[in-house]
Chain A
Amino acid sequence: MFHIYCPYCEEWREEEEFHARGQAHIQRPLDPETCSDEEWGDYLFFRDNPRGIHHELWVHSVGCRKFFNITRHTQSYEILETYRMGELPSVTAESVLPSAATAEASVANEKTEEVRA
């Protein structure tokens, strides 16, 4: 059971008061009319799914009902911070493991290419 600090109520509350709403910081394309099918599909359906640090949108659904963000580790489940809408995370995958992240990337691809699904 998570104990989550709501940055608006400024209180710790139990997980059951909250609802996770997926990846945080997703920008709606500024000019949808000019989006390609690729761009629009990416915006609608493609989400980060890291085994590690993840920035998530949550809502304090039976509390203040405000949306806010959580930085959480998807393997250890540790909640590293919660922050208000419009704010940026202070903990990121790069800030936690700068060297490990680049090492992994170089093992993965002998020659990195621009590939998209």
Chain B
Amino acid sequence: MQRYSGFALARHALSHHENWQRQWRNPTPKKAYDVIIVGGGGHGLATAYYLAKEFGVRNVAVIEKGWLGGGNTARNTTIVRSNYLWDEAAALYEHAMKLWEGLSQDLNYNVMFSQRGVLNLGHTLQDMRDIQRRVNANRLNGIDGEVLDAAGVQEIVPILDCSKRARYPVMGASWQPRAGVARHDAVAWGYARGADALGVDILQQTEVTGLKIRDGRILGVHTNRGDIEAKTVGCVTAGNSGVLAGMAGIRLPLESHPLQALVSEPLKPILDTVVMSNHVHGYISQSDKGDLVIGAGIDGYNGYGQRGSYPTVEHTLQAIVEMFPIFSRVRMNRQWGGIVDTCPDACPILSKTPVKGLFFNCGWGTGGFKATTGSGHVFAASLAKGEMHPLAAPFSIDRFHSGALVDEHGAAGVAH
């Protein structure tokens, strides 16, 4: 792998930038691998990268039915934070946060991780009590956080309407300064390039159509390009996980819903942090390109259409304009949806299954982008050892029968 550097940039300038190496190969599938990862989103690619880099498992294939990051990974609003309430979730997301902080260096790829801070607004007394509690819990877990009053919020975001005139006045917020955003495509590409350099085969345009199971053990996958064998298979297919599980006769406690986002025409820099409000339900940041990136809620019904409904957009924009009257004349440029797999406790599933060698990493719902690094890391460890990593263990499917749920609805950000 050619490394990116200032020197390389200068050297390639001499040949008019026409000889840069391809970022990853396009190999033909082998007959067998040690590990197959189904799903070439950020989580799947990160899993493959850490498998090769940290756990020495290099005979790995990532199988992706479309193109890299074409699922939720490059459809999200790119918010990264770790201010979750419960110890189990906080530990997992903070593990991810620490990896984010060194990711560009580790991958030799600029993922544009920008720690511009995240505000979670409170509009009622109960919101403020919940914020107080969550920030206290965060601090006990070594996660940065502060409770701000309305004046403190106004200081950080002068264009936010913090007046008493608002229909749902801003009473304060939680503030995580280390949180921020990252360029989502770059995350997928950086991991793909890193994994490929370590020998991982990335098979795009390859769809898993069935799972080969005999005597309670996984043997490989059926694809539209033929059968591929592996004794360890990790499914990381987000909104399609229920479909994959069905191929193994397994039921997951997941429901797939469209979640949508939209971006405005580009504006001059006006918002240098991330503002989220659970109460009126809208979240917004400004990309480095200048467009406002706005996240909506999920559609209330199950769906596999990657678009999302109009009433949800309308509801979201009402909330945004209520918070930021200054944006009322801004034109929206594009809108799209992703399919998120929501879990009853708003937490992911990282788990073994009753089929030996078959693992699932899913259920990240509306908030898994921030976990890409940590999810990939602990899932890779689990696949390499055959036992769930301690940070992943609380997120086993068993919890829906034992009752040991990790209820993160309050910190999840998107109502579902």
Contact with A along B294-338 (1 / 0, CB 8 A): 000000111111000111000000000000000000000000000
Decide yes or no whether B402 CB sits under 8 A from chain A.
Answer: yes
- Give the distance in Å from the alpha carbon of A16 to the alpha carbon of B314 in the complex: 11
Question: Range of interface residues on chain A?
Answer: 35 or more
Query: A56 to B210, alpha carbons, bound, how many Å?
Result: 27
* B226 beta carbon closer than 8 Å to chain A: no
Q: Is B216 within 8 A of A47, CB to CB?
A: no
State which of B246, B250, B304 has its C-beta within 8 Å of the C-beta of A75: B304
Bound CA–CA A49/B215 (angstroms): 26
Interface stretch (choices A5-13, A26-34, A81-89, A106-114):
A106-114
Contact indicator A47/B255 (Cβ below 8 Å): yes
Q: Which residue in chain A gives the minimum CB-CB distance to B247?
A: A108
B209, A107: Cβ atoms closer than 8 Å: yes
Cβ-closest chain B residue relative to A41: B401
| Interface membership of chain B positions 231-251, coded 1 if the CB is closer than 8 angstroms to chain A and 0 otherwise | 000000000101101111111
- What A residues does B222 contact at CB under 8 A? 107
Q: Which of A22-69 contact B (CB under 8 A)?
A: 22, 37-38, 40-42, 44-47, 49-51, 54, 56
> Taking A45-B253, A49-B255, A115-B354 as contacts, is the C-beta distance between A15 and B309 under 8 angstroms?
yes
Output the least CB separation between B119 and chain A (Å): 30
Given contacts A1-B309, A38-B401, A74-B303, contact A113 B213 (CB under 8 A): yes
Contact at A115–B250, with CB atoms within 8 Å?
yes
Give the interface SS of chain A, mostly helix, strand, loop or mixed. loop
Known: A56-B302, A108-B211. A37 touches B402 (CB 8 A): yes
In the complex, what residue of chain A is closest to B300 when comparing beta carbons?
A20
B186 at the interface (CB under 8 A from A): no
Say yes or no for A97: interface residue by CB 8 A criterion: no
- CB neighbours of B355 from chain A (8 A): 115
Residue A100 CB within 8 A of the other chain: no
Knowing A1-B310, A108-B210, the reply to whether A115 touches B249 (Cβ < 8 A) is: yes
A45/B210 in contact, CB under 8 A: no
Residues of B near A2 (CB, < 8 A) are 309
Say whether B53 faces chain A, with CB atoms less than 8 Å apart. no
Is there an interface contact between B401 and A15, defined as CB atoms closer than 8 Å? no
Judge whether A117 is part of the interface by a CB distance below 8 angstroms.
yes
Residues on A with C-beta less than 8 A from B251 are: 42, 46, 116-117
Beyond A75-B305, A76-B305, 16 additional contacts (C-beta under 8 Å) are A37-B401, A40-B401, A41-B401, A42-B251, A45-B400, A51-B242, A74-B301, A107-B222, A108-B210, A109-B211, A109-B248, A110-B214, A115-B216, A116-B251, A117-B250, A117-B397
Residues of B within 8 A of A (CB): 209-216, 222, 240, 242-243, 245-256, 300-305, 309-311, 344, 353-355, 397, 400-403
Interface residues of A, Cβ cutoff 8 Å to B = 1-2, 15-16, 19-20, 22, 37-38, 40-42, 44-47, 49-51, 54, 56, 72, 74-77, 107-117
